[in-house]
Structure 1
Amino acid sequence: MRNPRIPQSHFTAPLNEILGTEANVRVLRELCRADSPMARTTIAERAGLSLPGTSAAVAKLQRSGIVEAVGAGTRQSFGFRHGHPLAPALRTLFLAETLRTDALHGELRSLLGSLSSTPRAAWIVESEAPDEPGAPLRLSVLGAARDLPELASAIQGAIGELGSRYDTTIEVRATTEADLATASPAEHAVMQGATPVFGPHPLTFIDGSADAHQTAGPKRATHADRDHQAALSAAWIADQLNRDPSLPKRARNWLVHRLHVASPREAAELDDWLHVLESSSIPRIQHLLLSPGERAVRLRQSNPFIPVLTDRERDLMRKAATG
């Protein structure tokens, strides 16, 4: 891009520098999501960038004041500067991006589950080539060869309105287990990054563990199993509140944004949680998370703390929940 003919002040238009390149946005997104500063190599890995590209973006963002350095030398790391005047707006922007994706995946899951004949699995894969605005999302659907044409046609017809609401085109691709078994190494690499929206991950069908994954998956779990798992997760979060008192605020922010896209049924549960977080102390929130009462059991199924956990926190919670 050519240099602008008329320069603008960094004070009046700081986003020109902050969001000026895709690398800047990728780095800032990962730093905004992280719960602590990260080394350049970690940022590069999470953002999908080269180390030189990451270093250049970090330097620009640090110069703009939205990123700050911690430490020095080989141990230097970088974090999102929460005290920057535009930090709340940028956090909201990245959160809205995440919520839009989560909401679409949730609606796809509900739609696929409501069909008279459901697929064995469905997943969204990233484009093999650089994505362009307007490029379709690719929804791969797995089923028996004899049923796939009718199933794919039914799904494609049902998701048209969904694509319009999310301002995207969803392209359905029918897949059989035979297709997965004969996939090339390059196709395997693409599937590695697939996001399951219904059923297990596609690679479980390739390594022969699909049946085990389905048996352990949420479709076979009983209400008691789900309640028990939710209680274990809630117990970990209740303990985490002692170490991280910012969790209620993060959960409240997530609730406020989620309510804009929630169904009426979900909104009722989220409103209940919002009232709890706005009117209760941390000890009272912990009591609700641990309570065996009917209301607590119900609310744990829509626990707003889980979506705001970092990847590391989710891993710790899962390990605690599985012993």
Structure 2
Amino acid sequence: MKHPLNSILGSKGHVIVLRELIRANHPVSHSELLQRTDLSRQGVYDITKRLVETGVVTYTGSGRQQLVTVREEYPLYEELVNLFSKETQRYEELVDTMRSIVHNLKKQPESVWIFGSTARGDDEYGDPVQIAVLGKLKTIDSLTDEFREKLIQNNVESTFDVTIDIRGVTVADLETKPSLTEQGTVHLWGIDPKDYLNPPKDETTSVKSHRDLDERSQVESKIWTELLKSNPEIIPRTISLLDKQIDKTSTGEKLELLEWKNLLDNSSFQRLKKFMESDSEKAVRLRQSLPFWQVLTENEKNKFEQLKKELKQS
């Protein structure tokens, strides 16, 4: 009686089934739920049975004609509808915001899309929303820099509690990095990127060399997150340092400092850790300018080195 949501929202499967029942807004069969949720057949039957036991869902009909529906007379029905509506609204507002930013760039890119785990729908909290921006080789850097700057100016990451990874790409990148378009995309602007695709080419030695460096920096970032976890006071000291540096640096360097400040100001530790240890383009790029070392005390530097040795030994 006191905590019905423990049972109603007690598992990921419960949330998935309940979301689809509310979206459908009419009785649906178990077969339709199976198609909508991508759960196993037995999973759908077990979850709907448990939801019926909570009183929020009911069966209609019988036998093969038995359908499942949400009970509108359930006391928390409106609140549950509003909850899932807000969930959808948050995502749609983020997509609309990204499209609005692209529209207001000085020069629009040829195409913009979301790719990776967010596009597939299997992302977890802290995973970056990966956005590809397609442009010409000569202008793609300035284009992505302007995009990132507008993200900071509009407080997009803090407003939606997400990390956004903007990746500037050219047609050549599409041909060598199928991960940019495979397994689904959410198209935001311009021409569908798949229209540019050619058969993929072999990776060059230089690409492999860059990858080795990126992998090493990714491993070292785990040491930093371990240090930040045990010494969280490093973060506000780093933010103070960034505030001082931002006013003294050139435009290109200032953008990276602003990105770090925005990330540290607005991220929970869990989201910061997930970002720093990820292989996203933004994480790879920002790991080249980690801002923490300058504010460490001698004890913290010693602890960092100790963690580094322990990682090598493990």
Report whether the alignment pairs 1:142 with 2:128: no
Distance, in Å, in 2 between the alignment partners of 1:53 and 1:179 is 41
Contact 1:18 1:64 in 2 (8 A): yes
Aligned to 1:72: 62
Cα offset for 1:200? 4.3
Residue 167 of structure 1 corresponds to which residue in structure 2? 161
User: Whose relative contact order is higher, 1 or 2, with alpha carbons under 8 Å and at least 6 apart?
Assistant: 2
The 1:187–1:125 alpha-carbon spacing in structure 2 relative to 1, beyond 3 Å, is closer
**Aligned match of 2:114:** 124
1:158 maps to a residue whose letter is K
Distance in structure 2 (CA, Å) of the matches to 1:197 and 1:159:
15
**3-state SS of paired residue (1:124):** strand
Contact 1:195–1:201, Cα closer than 8 Å, also in 2? no
Contact 2:181 2:193 in 1 (8 A): no
- Sequence identity, in percent? 32
Q: Which residue of 1 aligns with 2:145?
A: 153
Match of 2:171 in 1: 177
Change in Cα spacing, 1:41 to 1:180, as seen in structure 2 (3 Å) is farther
Matched, 1:109 2:102: no
1:100 corresponds to which letter in structure 2?
A: R
Aligned pair count reads: 194
Alignment partner of 1:202 out of 193, 202, 217: 193
Indicate the residue corresponding to 1:63 in structure 2. 53
CA-atom RMSD in angstroms = 2.3
Output the CA distance in 2 between the equivalents of 1:121 and 1:95.
29
- Is 1:92 matched with 2:85? no
Judge which range, 197-206 or 85-94, deviates more. 197-206
Q: 1:188 to 1:104 in 2, by over 3 A?
A: closer
Q: Secondary structure at the match of 1:122?
A: strand
8 Å contact 2:29–2:65 — kept in the other structure?
A: yes
Contact 2:115 2:180 in 1 (8 A): no
Deviations 1:123-178 (A, max 9, x none): 22351695322221111212223322221222122213211111111111223334
Query: Residues 13 and 137 (structure 1 numbering): CA distance in 2 closer, same or farther, change over 3 Å?
Result: same
- TM-score of the pair, normalised by structure 2: 0.56
**Consecutive aligned runs of 4 or more in structure 1 exceeding 6 Å deviation:** none
Q: Note if contact 1:124-1:137 (Cα within 8 Å) is conserved in structure 2.
A: yes
TM-score (norm 1): 0.55
Decide whether aligned partners of structure 1 residues 93 and 129 sit closer, same or farther in structure 2, where only a CA change above 3 A counts: closer
CA contact (8 A) 2:57 2:69 kept: yes
Q: Is the 8 A contact 2:115 2:181 kept in 1?
A: no
Instruction: Map 1:1-323 onto structure 2 (within 5 A).
Output: 11-127=1-117, 130-160=122-152, 161-182=155-176, 184=178, 188-191=181-184, 194-206=185-197
1-structure distance, mates of 2:121, 2:189:
24
Deviation at 1:16, TM superposition (A): 0.3
Instruction: Look up the equivalent residue of 2:171 and give its one-letter code.
Output: E
| Change in 2 beyond 3 A, CA 1:163/1:36 | same
Give the Cα separation in 1 of the matches to 2:138 and 2:156.
Answer: 27
Structure 1's unaligned 5+ residue stretches are 1-10, 208-323
Alpha-carbon deviation of 1:58?
Answer: 1.4
CA distance in 2, matches of 1:169, 1:89: 28
State the secondary structure of the residue aligned to 1:123.
Answer: strand
Give the Cα–Cα distance (whole angstroms) in 1 for the partners of residues 80 and 121 of structure 2. 28
Alpha-carbon distance in structure 2 between the residues aligned to 1:129 and 1:34: 19
| Distance in 1 between residues matched to 2:128 and 2:108, nearest whole Å | 22
Question: Aligned equivalents of 1:19 and 1:205: distance in 2?
Answer: 43
Greater radius of gyration (CA) = 2
1:188–1:154 distance in 2 versus 1, CA, 3 Å: closer
Following the alignment from structure 2 to structure 1, what is the Cα–Cα distance between the partners of residues 188 and 121? 22
Output the amino acid matched with 1:28.
L
**Mean alpha-carbon deviation: is it higher for 158-167 or for 70-79?**
70-79
Amino acid at match of 1:190: Q
Q: CA deviation at 1:64?
A: 0.9
**AA paired with 2:173?**
D
- Aligned mates of 1:205, 1:66 — CA distance in 2: 48
Q: What displacement does 1:197 show?
A: 2.1
